A = this chain, B = another copy of it.
Amino acid sequence: MPEPFSVLAEPARRRILDLLLKRPRLVGELTDALGISQPGTSKHLRVLREAGLVTVRRDGQRRWYELRAEPLTELDAWLTPYRWMWADRFDALERQLESE
């Protein structure tokens, strides 16, 4: 099972998850929305499936892909210790930009 981090590095895959947020989708719908080829979509879906981020429901010759958000908890957990930091720390960035 690959890491959610690397799986989500692909914009297309984040896009898919965003689409599944509203409701399950067919491969064809996703293909249209992404603007890539159908095999391309199927490959992304495979990666998402192997990461446990989507599940498939067969419906005749169609496949309904639906979201399974649970692996995202790993991301959320990693993020936790950083979360307190982003209040008002623009000063550091300014220093950096000025030094270049």
> A residues near B, CB below 8 A?
3, 5-6, 8-9, 11, 14, 17, 21, 49, 52, 55-56, 66-70, 72-73, 75-76, 78-79, 81-83, 85-86, 89-90, 92-93, 95-96
Q: Which residues of B contact A5 (CB under 8 A)?
A: 5, 8-9, 11, 14
A67 x B55 contact (CB < 8 A)? no
Copy number of this protein in the oligomer?
A: 2
Instruction: Return the chain B residue nearest A95 by Cβ.
Output: B55
Whether A93 touches B55, Cβ cut-off 8 Å, given contacts A21-B81, A73-B86, A81-B21, is yes
Main secondary structure of the interface of A (DSSP, over half): helix
Q: Is the CB of B55 within 8 A of A72?
A: no
